[in-house]
Structure 1
Amino acid sequence: MRWAVIPDRYHRYVGTMDDTPLETRELRYFVAVAEELHFGRAAERLGMAQPPLSRAIQRLERRLGVRLLTRDRRGVALTGAGETLLHEGRAALAMTRAAARRTRRAGADGGARERLVLAVKAGAFHEQLRKLLDAYAAEPGAAEVEVLPSGTCEQEEMLRDGRADVALIHVPPRSLAGFDSERLSTEGQVAVLPAGHRLAARASLSMAEVGAIPGLPLARWPGPDGRPPGPGPEIHDQTQLGQLIALGRAAAVFPVSAVSWLWSAHAAVPLSDAPEVATHLAWPAHSRSLALAALARTAGRL
Protein backbone atom coordinates (compact mmCIF):
# COMPACT_ATOMS: atom_id res chain seq x y z
CA MET A 1 0.00 0.00 0.00
CA ARG A 2 1.32 3.42 -0.92
CA TRP A 3 0.70 6.24 1.53
CA ALA A 4 0.14 9.77 0.26
CA VAL A 5 2.51 12.37 1.62
CA ILE A 6 0.86 15.70 2.35
CA PRO A 7 3.21 18.69 2.18
CA ASP A 8 3.69 20.51 5.48
CA ARG A 9 2.16 23.73 4.19
CA TYR A 10 -1.22 22.00 3.94
CA HIS A 11 -1.28 20.59 7.46
CA ARG A 12 -2.71 23.86 8.71
CA TYR A 13 -5.87 23.29 6.68
CA VAL A 14 -6.26 19.50 6.55
CA GLY A 15 -7.28 17.21 9.39
CA THR A 16 -7.64 19.99 11.94
CA MET A 17 -11.42 20.39 11.93
CA ASP A 18 -13.37 19.92 15.15
CA ASP A 19 -16.91 20.42 16.37
CA THR A 20 -16.12 23.26 18.76
CA PRO A 21 -18.61 26.11 18.23
CA LEU A 22 -17.26 29.37 16.89
CA GLU A 23 -16.79 32.10 19.46
CA THR A 24 -18.42 35.50 19.13
CA ARG A 25 -15.01 37.14 19.39
CA GLU A 26 -13.69 35.09 16.46
CA LEU A 27 -16.66 36.07 14.34
CA ARG A 28 -16.24 39.75 15.18
CA TYR A 29 -12.58 39.59 14.19
CA PHE A 30 -13.27 37.79 10.93
CA VAL A 31 -16.24 39.98 9.91
CA ALA A 32 -14.13 43.11 10.49
CA VAL A 33 -11.32 41.79 8.29
CA ALA A 34 -13.75 40.50 5.64
CA GLU A 35 -15.56 43.83 5.43
CA GLU A 36 -12.42 45.98 5.42
CA LEU A 37 -10.29 43.57 3.32
CA HIS A 38 -7.35 45.12 5.12
CA PHE A 39 -5.84 43.87 8.39
CA GLY A 40 -4.63 47.30 9.47
CA ARG A 41 -8.02 48.99 9.06
CA ALA A 42 -9.78 46.03 10.67
CA ALA A 43 -7.42 46.15 13.67
CA GLU A 44 -8.03 49.88 14.06
CA ARG A 45 -11.78 49.32 13.87
CA LEU A 46 -11.55 46.62 16.57
CA GLY A 47 -9.26 48.71 18.77
CA MET A 48 -6.42 46.19 18.77
CA ALA A 49 -2.97 45.67 17.27
CA GLN A 50 -2.61 44.00 13.87
CA PRO A 51 -0.34 41.01 14.78
CA PRO A 52 -2.78 39.40 17.27
CA LEU A 53 -5.61 39.92 14.79
CA SER A 54 -3.64 38.14 12.06
CA ARG A 55 -2.85 35.28 14.44
CA ALA A 56 -6.51 34.99 15.44
CA ILE A 57 -7.61 34.66 11.81
CA GLN A 58 -4.92 32.02 11.18
CA ARG A 59 -6.11 30.03 14.21
CA LEU A 60 -9.68 30.26 12.92
CA GLU A 61 -8.62 28.92 9.52
CA ARG A 62 -6.77 26.03 11.17
CA ARG A 63 -9.78 25.15 13.30
CA LEU A 64 -12.16 25.18 10.34
CA GLY A 65 -9.71 23.46 8.02
CA VAL A 66 -10.31 25.90 5.16
CA ARG A 67 -8.81 29.07 3.76
CA LEU A 68 -11.01 32.04 4.45
CA LEU A 69 -8.79 34.74 2.96
CA THR A 70 -6.11 34.98 0.32
CA ARG A 71 -3.24 37.38 0.97
CA ASP A 72 -0.83 38.60 -1.69
CA ARG A 73 0.80 41.79 -2.90
CA ARG A 74 -2.49 43.04 -4.28
CA GLY A 75 -4.16 42.80 -0.86
CA VAL A 76 -6.69 40.62 0.92
CA ALA A 77 -9.57 38.79 -0.77
CA LEU A 78 -12.27 36.42 0.41
CA THR A 79 -12.36 32.81 -0.72
CA GLY A 80 -15.64 31.03 -1.34
CA ALA A 81 -15.52 29.69 2.21
CA GLY A 82 -14.79 33.19 3.47
CA GLU A 83 -17.84 34.57 1.67
CA THR A 84 -19.96 31.92 3.38
CA LEU A 85 -18.56 32.70 6.82
CA LEU A 86 -19.04 36.43 6.27
CA HIS A 87 -22.73 35.89 5.49
CA GLU A 88 -23.26 33.43 8.35
CA GLY A 89 -21.10 35.42 10.76
CA ARG A 90 -23.03 38.63 10.22
CA ALA A 91 -26.28 36.78 10.86
CA ALA A 92 -24.91 35.11 14.00
CA LEU A 93 -23.59 38.39 15.42
CA ALA A 94 -26.92 40.07 14.69
CA MET A 95 -28.69 37.29 16.59
CA THR A 96 -26.45 37.71 19.65
CA ARG A 97 -27.08 41.47 19.64
CA ALA A 98 -30.80 40.84 19.24
CA ALA A 99 -30.81 38.37 22.15
CA ALA A 100 -29.11 40.90 24.41
CA ARG A 101 -31.48 43.73 23.47
CA ARG A 102 -34.62 41.64 23.88
CA THR A 103 -33.39 40.21 27.19
CA ARG A 104 -32.76 43.70 28.58
CA ARG A 105 -36.16 44.81 27.36
CA ALA A 106 -37.85 41.82 29.00
CA GLY A 107 -36.19 42.64 32.30
CA ALA A 108 -36.99 46.36 32.26
CA ASP A 109 -39.16 47.56 35.17
CA GLY A 110 -38.64 44.22 36.87
CA GLY A 111 -40.30 42.35 34.01
CA ALA A 112 -43.73 42.99 35.55
CA ARG A 113 -45.37 43.53 32.16
CA GLU A 114 -44.17 42.49 28.72
CA ARG A 115 -43.52 45.28 26.26
CA LEU A 116 -43.41 44.94 22.49
CA VAL A 117 -41.53 47.29 20.18
CA LEU A 118 -43.29 47.64 16.83
CA ALA A 119 -41.23 49.17 13.99
CA VAL A 120 -43.09 51.02 11.26
CA LYS A 121 -42.03 53.22 8.39
CA ALA A 122 -42.42 56.83 9.46
CA GLY A 123 -45.49 58.38 7.87
CA ALA A 124 -46.99 55.10 6.64
CA PHE A 125 -49.61 52.51 7.66
CA HIS A 126 -51.75 55.04 9.62
CA GLU A 127 -55.14 53.41 9.17
CA GLN A 128 -53.94 49.80 9.38
CA LEU A 129 -51.84 50.54 12.44
CA ARG A 130 -54.62 52.35 14.28
CA LYS A 131 -57.06 49.47 13.74
CA LEU A 132 -54.48 46.88 14.80
CA LEU A 133 -53.43 48.68 17.98
CA ASP A 134 -57.01 49.45 19.03
CA ALA A 135 -58.09 45.84 18.52
CA TYR A 136 -55.06 44.46 20.37
CA ALA A 137 -55.44 46.88 23.30
CA ALA A 138 -58.95 45.50 23.85
CA GLU A 139 -57.54 41.98 24.39
CA PRO A 140 -57.28 40.77 28.01
CA GLY A 141 -53.71 41.04 29.27
CA ALA A 142 -52.50 42.94 26.21
CA ALA A 143 -48.86 44.01 26.43
CA GLU A 144 -47.72 47.60 26.13
CA VAL A 145 -46.84 48.34 22.49
CA GLU A 146 -44.19 50.96 21.75
CA VAL A 147 -44.52 52.20 18.17
CA LEU A 148 -41.08 53.00 16.79
CA PRO A 149 -41.17 55.07 13.56
CA SER A 150 -38.11 54.29 11.48
CA GLY A 151 -36.41 55.26 8.27
CA THR A 152 -37.27 53.90 4.87
CA CYS A 153 -36.65 50.13 4.65
CA GLU A 154 -35.11 49.89 8.15
CA GLN A 155 -37.80 47.64 9.60
CA GLU A 156 -36.26 44.37 8.38
CA GLU A 157 -32.86 45.24 9.87
CA MET A 158 -34.45 46.33 13.16
CA LEU A 159 -36.12 42.95 13.52
CA ARG A 160 -32.89 41.09 12.83
CA ASP A 161 -30.77 43.05 15.32
CA GLY A 162 -33.33 43.15 18.15
CA ARG A 163 -34.24 46.84 18.14
CA ALA A 164 -37.80 45.74 17.34
CA ASP A 165 -39.86 42.68 18.27
CA VAL A 166 -42.33 43.01 15.41
CA ALA A 167 -42.64 45.21 12.32
CA LEU A 168 -44.93 46.25 9.50
CA ILE A 169 -43.15 45.45 6.23
CA HIS A 170 -44.03 45.95 2.57
CA VAL A 171 -43.37 42.90 0.37
CA PRO A 172 -41.90 43.58 -2.17
CA PRO A 173 -39.41 45.28 -1.99
CA ARG A 174 -38.42 43.85 1.41
CA SER A 175 -37.86 40.18 2.21
CA LEU A 176 -39.57 38.00 4.81
CA ALA A 177 -36.74 35.43 4.88
CA GLY A 178 -36.23 34.24 8.45
CA PHE A 179 -39.48 35.78 9.68
CA ASP A 180 -42.96 34.53 10.45
CA SER A 181 -45.69 36.88 9.26
CA GLU A 182 -49.38 37.65 8.97
CA ARG A 183 -50.55 39.44 5.84
CA LEU A 184 -52.70 42.47 6.62
CA SER A 185 -53.55 43.83 3.17
CA THR A 186 -52.68 43.87 -0.52
CA GLU A 187 -52.83 46.97 -2.68
CA GLY A 188 -51.72 48.57 -5.92
CA GLN A 189 -49.04 51.21 -6.36
CA VAL A 190 -48.84 54.83 -7.44
CA ALA A 191 -46.15 57.08 -8.87
CA VAL A 192 -45.53 60.14 -6.70
CA LEU A 193 -44.53 63.16 -8.82
CA PRO A 194 -44.22 66.92 -8.36
CA ALA A 195 -47.73 68.39 -8.56
CA GLY A 196 -46.82 70.67 -11.46
CA HIS A 197 -45.22 68.00 -13.63
CA ARG A 198 -46.70 67.46 -17.08
CA LEU A 199 -47.48 63.79 -16.27
CA ALA A 200 -49.19 64.54 -12.95
CA ALA A 201 -52.59 64.94 -14.66
CA ARG A 202 -52.45 61.53 -16.39
CA ALA A 203 -55.09 58.95 -15.42
CA SER A 204 -52.38 56.28 -15.17
CA LEU A 205 -48.76 55.57 -16.02
CA SER A 206 -46.69 52.49 -16.73
CA MET A 207 -43.58 51.54 -14.78
CA ALA A 208 -41.51 52.06 -17.94
CA GLU A 209 -42.82 55.61 -18.31
CA VAL A 210 -42.07 56.48 -14.69
CA GLY A 211 -38.55 55.06 -14.93
CA ALA A 212 -37.76 57.16 -18.00
CA ILE A 213 -38.98 60.65 -17.03
CA PRO A 214 -36.22 63.11 -18.04
CA GLY A 215 -34.71 64.92 -15.06
CA LEU A 216 -36.89 63.06 -12.54
CA PRO A 217 -35.05 59.87 -11.47
CA LEU A 218 -36.64 57.39 -9.11
CA ALA A 219 -35.39 57.72 -5.54
CA ARG A 220 -33.43 54.72 -4.27
CA TRP A 221 -33.87 52.92 -0.97
CA PRO A 222 -30.70 52.45 1.12
CA GLY A 223 -29.03 49.08 1.41
CA PRO A 224 -27.01 46.70 -0.75
CA ASP A 225 -29.77 46.29 -3.36
CA GLY A 226 -30.28 50.06 -3.71
CA ARG A 227 -33.71 49.52 -5.24
CA PRO A 228 -34.75 50.71 -7.66
CA PRO A 229 -31.41 50.64 -9.48
CA GLY A 230 -30.31 53.77 -11.25
CA PRO A 231 -28.93 57.27 -10.76
CA GLY A 232 -31.66 58.57 -8.46
CA PRO A 233 -30.84 60.03 -5.02
CA GLU A 234 -30.64 57.67 -2.03
CA ILE A 235 -33.27 58.60 0.53
CA HIS A 236 -33.32 57.83 4.24
CA ASP A 237 -36.55 59.30 5.58
CA GLN A 238 -39.97 60.46 4.46
CA THR A 239 -39.29 64.18 4.89
CA GLN A 240 -36.19 64.02 2.70
CA LEU A 241 -38.08 62.18 0.00
CA GLY A 242 -41.05 64.55 0.18
CA GLN A 243 -38.79 67.57 -0.28
CA LEU A 244 -36.91 66.07 -3.22
CA ILE A 245 -40.18 65.27 -5.01
CA ALA A 246 -41.62 68.73 -4.28
CA LEU A 247 -38.45 70.34 -5.68
CA GLY A 248 -38.71 68.32 -8.89
CA ARG A 249 -35.52 66.37 -8.15
CA ALA A 250 -36.96 62.85 -7.79
CA ALA A 251 -40.00 60.65 -8.22
CA ALA A 252 -41.03 57.61 -6.18
CA VAL A 253 -43.23 54.53 -6.37
CA PHE A 254 -45.37 53.74 -3.32
CA PRO A 255 -48.36 51.62 -2.29
CA VAL A 256 -51.70 53.39 -2.71
CA SER A 257 -52.03 53.86 1.06
CA ALA A 258 -48.99 56.17 1.01
CA VAL A 259 -51.17 59.00 -0.32
CA SER A 260 -52.02 59.73 3.33
CA TRP A 261 -48.66 61.48 3.83
CA LEU A 262 -48.45 63.36 0.52
CA TRP A 263 -47.98 67.12 0.51
CA SER A 264 -49.95 69.59 -1.60
CA ALA A 265 -46.81 69.85 -3.76
CA HIS A 266 -47.13 66.14 -4.68
CA ALA A 267 -49.35 64.25 -7.09
CA ALA A 268 -50.13 60.52 -7.05
CA VAL A 269 -50.75 58.79 -10.40
CA PRO A 270 -51.95 55.14 -10.45
CA LEU A 271 -49.57 52.64 -12.04
CA SER A 272 -51.17 50.30 -14.54
CA ASP A 273 -48.61 47.51 -14.48
CA ALA A 274 -46.87 47.68 -11.09
CA PRO A 275 -46.92 44.50 -8.98
CA GLU A 276 -49.23 44.54 -5.98
CA VAL A 277 -47.67 45.16 -2.58
CA ALA A 278 -48.62 43.18 0.51
CA THR A 279 -48.30 44.66 3.99
CA HIS A 280 -47.20 42.05 6.53
CA LEU A 281 -46.92 42.02 10.29
CA ALA A 282 -43.56 40.21 10.66
CA TRP A 283 -41.54 38.87 13.59
CA PRO A 284 -38.51 36.58 14.11
CA ALA A 285 -39.36 32.96 13.40
CA HIS A 286 -37.80 31.80 16.68
CA SER A 287 -39.86 34.13 18.87
CA ARG A 288 -41.62 32.53 21.87
CA SER A 289 -43.34 35.71 23.10
CA LEU A 290 -46.94 35.11 24.17
CA ALA A 291 -47.71 38.80 23.79
CA LEU A 292 -46.40 38.77 20.23
CA ALA A 293 -48.46 35.66 19.46
CA ALA A 294 -51.57 37.46 20.71
CA LEU A 295 -50.76 40.49 18.53
CA ALA A 296 -50.37 38.19 15.50
CA ARG A 297 -53.74 36.54 16.23
CA THR A 298 -55.35 39.97 16.40
CA ALA A 299 -53.77 40.87 13.04
CA GLY A 300 -55.10 37.63 11.57
CA ARG A 301 -58.65 38.45 12.69
CA LEU A 302 -58.42 41.89 11.13
Structure 2
Amino acid sequence: MKRSDDALATIALVSRLCADELRPLKASEFWKLMAKPDSRPSDLLGMSAGDLTSDDGFSTVLAERLVALLGRATSLAFEIERLQHSGIKAITPFDEHYPNCWSDRLGAKAPPLLYAAGAAELLDCRGLGVVGSRDVSPDGAEVAVAAAQSAASRGLPLVSGGARGVDQLAMNSALDSGGTVVGVLADSLARKLRNADIRAAIHDERIVMCTPYSPDAGFSAGNAMGRNKLIYAQAALTLVVASDNGKGGTWSGATEALDNKFGRVAVWRGPGEGSGNEILDRRGAAPVATIDELKSLLDGDGPLTGADVPPSNGHLEQRTLFDDQPAVL
Protein backbone atom coordinates (compact mmCIF):
# COMPACT_ATOMS: atom_id res chain seq x y z
CA MET A 1 0.00 0.00 0.00
CA LYS A 2 1.67 3.20 -1.20
CA ARG A 3 1.10 6.11 1.14
CA SER A 4 1.24 9.83 0.60
CA ASP A 5 3.72 11.93 2.53
CA ASP A 6 0.78 13.49 4.36
CA ALA A 7 -0.41 10.09 5.57
CA LEU A 8 3.08 9.05 6.64
CA ALA A 9 3.66 12.30 8.50
CA THR A 10 0.29 12.00 10.24
CA ILE A 11 1.09 8.48 11.45
CA ALA A 12 4.48 9.65 12.76
CA LEU A 13 2.91 12.56 14.61
CA VAL A 14 0.06 10.74 16.36
CA SER A 15 0.85 7.02 16.50
CA ARG A 16 1.68 5.17 19.71
CA LEU A 17 3.02 2.10 17.89
CA CYS A 18 6.66 2.78 18.69
CA ALA A 19 7.99 1.76 22.09
CA ASP A 20 9.69 5.05 22.85
CA GLU A 21 9.45 7.88 25.37
CA LEU A 22 7.96 10.37 22.93
CA ARG A 23 4.52 11.84 23.51
CA PRO A 24 2.45 11.73 20.29
CA LEU A 25 0.09 14.55 19.46
CA LYS A 26 -3.44 14.33 20.75
CA ALA A 27 -6.26 14.78 18.24
CA SER A 28 -6.84 18.36 19.33
CA GLU A 29 -3.14 19.16 19.00
CA PHE A 30 -2.96 17.63 15.54
CA TRP A 31 -5.98 19.53 14.21
CA LYS A 32 -4.71 22.77 15.75
CA LEU A 33 -1.45 22.19 13.90
CA MET A 34 -3.45 21.82 10.68
CA ALA A 35 -5.68 24.83 11.33
CA LYS A 36 -3.73 27.26 9.16
CA PRO A 37 -5.05 27.53 5.58
CA ASP A 38 -3.42 25.02 3.22
CA SER A 39 -1.44 23.41 6.07
CA ARG A 40 -0.48 19.80 5.48
CA PRO A 41 1.51 17.37 7.66
CA SER A 42 4.03 16.80 4.88
CA ASP A 43 5.04 20.46 5.12
CA LEU A 44 6.86 19.56 8.34
CA LEU A 45 8.98 16.79 6.82
CA GLY A 46 12.69 17.55 6.59
CA MET A 47 12.44 20.68 8.72
CA SER A 48 14.67 21.30 11.71
CA ALA A 49 13.52 22.65 15.05
CA GLY A 50 15.11 25.94 14.09
CA ASP A 51 13.15 26.05 10.84
CA LEU A 52 9.88 25.43 12.69
CA THR A 53 10.51 28.13 15.28
CA SER A 54 11.61 30.75 12.75
CA ASP A 55 9.29 29.94 9.82
CA ASP A 56 6.15 28.75 11.60
CA GLY A 57 6.44 30.48 14.95
CA PHE A 58 6.30 27.28 17.01
CA SER A 59 7.72 27.27 20.50
CA THR A 60 11.09 25.58 20.91
CA VAL A 61 9.53 22.78 22.97
CA LEU A 62 6.85 22.03 20.35
CA ALA A 63 9.30 22.30 17.46
CA GLU A 64 11.70 19.80 19.05
CA ARG A 65 8.81 17.48 19.84
CA LEU A 66 7.56 17.57 16.22
CA VAL A 67 11.02 16.87 14.80
CA ALA A 68 11.49 13.92 17.17
CA LEU A 69 8.08 12.46 16.30
CA LEU A 70 8.67 12.79 12.56
CA GLY A 71 12.07 11.14 13.01
CA ARG A 72 10.35 7.86 13.88
CA ALA A 73 9.52 7.14 10.23
CA THR A 74 11.80 4.11 9.84
CA SER A 75 10.63 2.41 13.04
CA LEU A 76 6.99 3.08 12.17
CA ALA A 77 7.42 1.65 8.69
CA PHE A 78 8.31 -1.73 10.21
CA GLU A 79 5.34 -1.57 12.59
CA ILE A 80 2.89 -0.65 9.81
CA GLU A 81 4.21 -3.50 7.67
CA ARG A 82 3.76 -5.90 10.59
CA LEU A 83 0.16 -4.78 11.02
CA GLN A 84 -0.57 -5.12 7.31
CA HIS A 85 0.61 -8.74 7.40
CA SER A 86 -1.93 -9.37 10.17
CA GLY A 87 -4.70 -7.73 8.15
CA ILE A 88 -4.79 -4.37 9.95
CA LYS A 89 -4.66 -1.11 8.00
CA ALA A 90 -3.63 2.26 9.44
CA ILE A 91 -5.98 4.91 8.00
CA THR A 92 -5.51 8.68 8.20
CA PRO A 93 -7.63 11.55 6.82
CA PHE A 94 -5.30 11.48 3.81
CA ASP A 95 -6.14 7.85 2.97
CA GLU A 96 -9.07 6.29 1.17
CA HIS A 97 -11.96 5.22 3.43
CA TYR A 98 -11.21 7.54 6.34
CA PRO A 99 -14.70 8.39 7.68
CA ASN A 100 -15.18 12.00 6.61
CA CYS A 101 -18.31 12.10 8.77
CA TRP A 102 -16.00 11.93 11.81
CA SER A 103 -14.23 15.12 10.75
CA ASP A 104 -17.51 16.81 9.83
CA ARG A 105 -19.29 15.97 13.08
CA LEU A 106 -16.48 15.81 15.62
CA GLY A 107 -14.10 18.51 14.40
CA ALA A 108 -10.96 18.59 16.56
CA LYS A 109 -12.21 15.54 18.49
CA ALA A 110 -11.95 13.30 15.43
CA PRO A 111 -9.03 10.84 15.66
CA PRO A 112 -6.39 11.55 12.98
CA LEU A 113 -5.55 7.84 12.87
CA LEU A 114 -7.56 4.66 13.12
CA TYR A 115 -6.69 1.01 12.66
CA ALA A 116 -9.13 -1.12 10.70
CA ALA A 117 -9.48 -4.73 9.58
CA GLY A 118 -11.98 -5.93 7.03
CA ALA A 119 -14.17 -4.14 4.50
CA ALA A 120 -12.89 -0.60 5.04
CA GLU A 121 -15.26 0.72 2.37
CA LEU A 122 -18.07 0.28 4.92
CA LEU A 123 -16.56 3.27 6.75
CA ASP A 124 -17.75 5.38 3.80
CA CYS A 125 -21.38 4.52 4.61
CA ARG A 126 -23.69 5.95 7.24
CA GLY A 127 -25.43 3.14 9.14
CA LEU A 128 -27.76 2.49 12.04
CA GLY A 129 -26.07 2.70 15.41
CA VAL A 130 -27.40 0.46 18.18
CA VAL A 131 -26.03 0.84 21.71
CA GLY A 132 -27.08 -0.06 25.22
CA SER A 133 -26.44 -1.81 28.46
CA ARG A 134 -24.31 -4.91 28.91
CA ASP A 135 -26.95 -6.23 31.34
CA VAL A 136 -29.81 -5.95 28.89
CA SER A 137 -33.18 -7.55 29.69
CA PRO A 138 -34.80 -10.15 27.39
CA ASP A 139 -37.19 -7.47 26.09
CA GLY A 140 -34.29 -5.11 25.41
CA ALA A 141 -32.40 -7.90 23.70
CA GLU A 142 -35.34 -8.43 21.32
CA VAL A 143 -35.28 -4.71 20.48
CA ALA A 144 -31.55 -4.82 19.65
CA VAL A 145 -32.06 -7.86 17.42
CA ALA A 146 -35.08 -6.39 15.63
CA ALA A 147 -33.34 -3.04 15.07
CA ALA A 148 -30.36 -4.80 13.50
CA GLN A 149 -32.68 -6.81 11.24
CA SER A 150 -34.28 -3.55 10.13
CA ALA A 151 -30.87 -2.10 9.24
CA ALA A 152 -29.95 -5.21 7.27
CA SER A 153 -33.24 -5.13 5.33
CA ARG A 154 -32.45 -1.55 4.25
CA GLY A 155 -28.87 -2.31 3.26
CA LEU A 156 -27.51 -0.15 6.09
CA PRO A 157 -24.42 -1.18 8.05
CA LEU A 158 -25.06 -1.85 11.74
CA VAL A 159 -22.73 0.34 13.81
CA SER A 160 -21.89 -0.59 17.39
CA GLY A 161 -19.07 -1.11 19.85
CA GLY A 162 -18.62 -4.88 20.20
CA ALA A 163 -19.26 -4.96 23.96
CA ARG A 164 -21.32 -7.67 25.63
CA GLY A 165 -25.06 -7.16 25.77
CA VAL A 166 -26.80 -4.87 23.29
CA ASP A 167 -23.73 -4.31 21.09
CA GLN A 168 -22.98 -7.97 20.44
CA LEU A 169 -26.62 -8.93 20.04
CA ALA A 170 -27.20 -6.25 17.41
CA MET A 171 -23.99 -6.95 15.51
CA ASN A 172 -24.58 -10.69 15.41
CA SER A 173 -28.20 -10.18 14.36
CA ALA A 174 -27.14 -7.94 11.48
CA LEU A 175 -24.74 -10.59 10.18
CA ASP A 176 -27.31 -13.37 10.67
CA SER A 177 -29.76 -11.29 8.61
CA GLY A 178 -27.35 -10.91 5.70
CA GLY A 179 -26.32 -7.38 6.63
CA THR A 180 -23.00 -5.68 7.25
CA VAL A 181 -21.34 -4.39 10.41
CA VAL A 182 -19.05 -1.55 11.47
CA GLY A 183 -17.54 -2.36 14.85
CA VAL A 184 -15.86 0.56 16.64
CA LEU A 185 -13.82 -0.99 19.42
CA ALA A 186 -12.51 0.19 22.77
CA ASP A 187 -10.72 -3.15 23.20
CA SER A 188 -7.84 -4.91 21.46
CA LEU A 189 -8.42 -5.16 17.72
CA ALA A 190 -5.61 -7.71 17.42
CA ARG A 191 -7.30 -9.98 19.95
CA LYS A 192 -10.67 -9.72 18.20
CA LEU A 193 -9.08 -10.85 14.96
CA ARG A 194 -8.11 -14.17 16.55
CA ASN A 195 -11.81 -15.08 16.57
CA ALA A 196 -12.51 -17.47 13.66
CA ASP A 197 -16.04 -16.13 13.10
CA ILE A 198 -14.79 -12.58 12.80
CA ARG A 199 -12.13 -13.67 10.34
CA ALA A 200 -14.80 -15.45 8.29
CA ALA A 201 -16.99 -12.31 8.23
CA ILE A 202 -13.95 -10.26 7.16
CA HIS A 203 -13.23 -12.78 4.40
CA ASP A 204 -16.82 -12.35 3.18
CA GLU A 205 -16.36 -8.55 3.19
CA ARG A 206 -19.30 -8.06 5.53
CA ILE A 207 -17.59 -6.44 8.47
CA VAL A 208 -14.99 -3.87 9.37
CA MET A 209 -13.57 -3.67 12.87
CA CYS A 210 -11.78 -0.46 13.74
CA THR A 211 -10.31 1.40 16.69
CA PRO A 212 -8.65 4.78 17.25
CA TYR A 213 -6.34 3.12 19.78
CA SER A 214 -3.27 0.98 19.24
CA PRO A 215 -4.35 -2.44 17.94
CA ASP A 216 -2.89 -4.23 20.97
CA ALA A 217 -4.36 -1.83 23.55
CA GLY A 218 -6.70 -3.50 26.02
CA PHE A 219 -10.04 -2.22 27.23
CA SER A 220 -10.28 0.79 29.52
CA ALA A 221 -13.18 2.97 30.59
CA GLY A 222 -11.39 5.97 29.10
CA ASN A 223 -11.06 4.25 25.74
CA ALA A 224 -14.75 3.36 25.82
CA MET A 225 -15.71 6.97 26.50
CA GLY A 226 -13.53 8.15 23.62
CA ARG A 227 -14.91 5.47 21.32
CA ASN A 228 -18.59 6.23 21.96
CA LYS A 229 -18.64 9.50 20.04
CA LEU A 230 -17.32 7.71 16.96
CA ILE A 231 -20.37 5.43 16.86
CA TYR A 232 -22.74 8.41 16.90
CA ALA A 233 -20.70 10.23 14.27
CA GLN A 234 -20.59 7.15 12.01
CA ALA A 235 -24.32 6.46 12.13
CA ALA A 236 -27.16 8.18 10.29
CA LEU A 237 -29.17 7.48 13.45
CA THR A 238 -28.22 5.78 16.73
CA LEU A 239 -30.78 3.93 18.84
CA VAL A 240 -30.16 3.77 22.60
CA VAL A 241 -31.89 0.55 23.62
CA ALA A 242 -31.31 0.68 27.38
CA SER A 243 -29.37 3.17 29.51
CA ASP A 244 -28.88 3.63 33.24
CA ASN A 245 -29.88 6.99 34.65
CA GLY A 246 -26.94 9.31 35.19
CA LYS A 247 -24.18 6.72 35.05
CA GLY A 248 -22.47 4.20 32.80
CA GLY A 249 -20.95 4.29 29.36
CA THR A 250 -24.24 4.22 27.47
CA TRP A 251 -25.54 7.22 29.40
CA SER A 252 -22.29 9.17 28.99
CA GLY A 253 -22.09 8.47 25.27
CA ALA A 254 -25.73 9.41 24.62
CA THR A 255 -25.68 12.64 26.62
CA GLU A 256 -22.38 13.68 25.05
CA ALA A 257 -23.81 13.06 21.58
CA LEU A 258 -26.96 15.04 22.38
CA ASP A 259 -25.11 17.94 23.97
CA ASN A 260 -22.53 18.21 21.18
CA LYS A 261 -24.77 17.20 18.26
CA PHE A 262 -22.43 14.39 17.22
CA GLY A 263 -25.31 12.63 15.46
CA ARG A 264 -29.03 11.89 15.49
CA VAL A 265 -30.06 10.05 18.66
CA ALA A 266 -33.20 7.94 19.20
CA VAL A 267 -34.16 6.26 22.47
CA TRP A 268 -36.30 3.17 23.02
CA ARG A 269 -39.46 3.86 25.02
CA GLY A 270 -41.01 0.43 25.28
CA PRO A 271 -40.53 -2.89 27.08
CA GLY A 272 -36.85 -3.37 27.91
CA GLU A 273 -35.94 0.30 28.22
CA GLY A 274 -33.51 1.36 30.93
CA SER A 275 -34.00 3.71 33.84
CA GLY A 276 -32.27 6.53 31.95
CA ASN A 277 -34.26 6.25 28.72
CA GLU A 278 -37.04 8.60 29.81
CA ILE A 279 -34.47 11.24 30.79
CA LEU A 280 -32.74 10.92 27.40
CA ASP A 281 -36.15 11.43 25.80
CA ARG A 282 -36.57 14.66 27.79
CA ARG A 283 -33.06 15.77 26.81
CA GLY A 284 -33.87 15.63 23.12
CA ALA A 285 -33.48 12.05 21.89
CA ALA A 286 -36.26 10.99 19.51
CA PRO A 287 -38.58 8.55 21.34
CA VAL A 288 -39.19 5.22 19.61
CA ALA A 289 -41.76 2.73 20.91
CA THR A 290 -41.98 0.36 17.94
CA ILE A 291 -39.61 -0.87 15.28
CA ASP A 292 -41.89 0.70 12.67
CA GLU A 293 -41.23 4.08 14.31
CA LEU A 294 -37.51 3.38 14.06
CA LYS A 295 -37.94 2.53 10.38
CA SER A 296 -39.77 5.82 9.83
CA LEU A 297 -36.93 7.77 11.48
CA LEU A 298 -34.44 5.97 9.27
CA ASP A 299 -36.53 6.88 6.24
CA GLY A 300 -36.75 10.49 7.42
CA ASP A 301 -40.53 10.47 7.91
CA GLY A 302 -40.68 10.92 11.67
CA PRO A 303 -42.31 8.54 14.17
CA LEU A 304 -45.40 6.61 13.08
CA THR A 305 -47.63 4.12 14.86
CA GLY A 306 -46.72 0.57 13.93
CA ALA A 307 -46.35 -3.00 15.05
CA ASP A 308 -44.58 -3.68 18.31
CA VAL A 309 -41.33 -5.58 18.53
CA PRO A 310 -42.06 -9.32 18.25
CA PRO A 311 -42.48 -10.83 21.73
CA SER A 312 -39.58 -12.66 23.28
CA ASN A 313 -39.61 -16.41 22.79
CA GLY A 314 -37.78 -17.09 26.02
CA HIS A 315 -34.07 -16.84 26.75
CA LEU A 316 -32.02 -15.49 23.90
CA GLU A 317 -28.66 -17.19 23.51
CA GLN A 318 -25.98 -14.70 22.61
CA ARG A 319 -23.70 -15.96 19.84
CA THR A 320 -19.98 -15.79 20.37
CA LEU A 321 -18.80 -13.71 17.43
CA PHE A 322 -17.43 -10.96 19.68
CA ASP A 323 -16.71 -12.89 22.83
CA ASP A 324 -15.18 -16.17 23.88
CA GLN A 325 -18.01 -17.28 26.17
CA PRO A 326 -21.74 -17.42 25.37
CA ALA A 327 -24.20 -15.64 27.64
CA VAL A 328 -27.83 -16.49 28.23
CA LEU A 329 -29.96 -13.38 28.65
TM-score, reference length from structure 1? 0.29
Greater share of residues in strand: 1
Question: Who wins on radius of gyration, i.e. which is larger?
Answer: 1
TM-score normalised by L of structure 2: 0.27
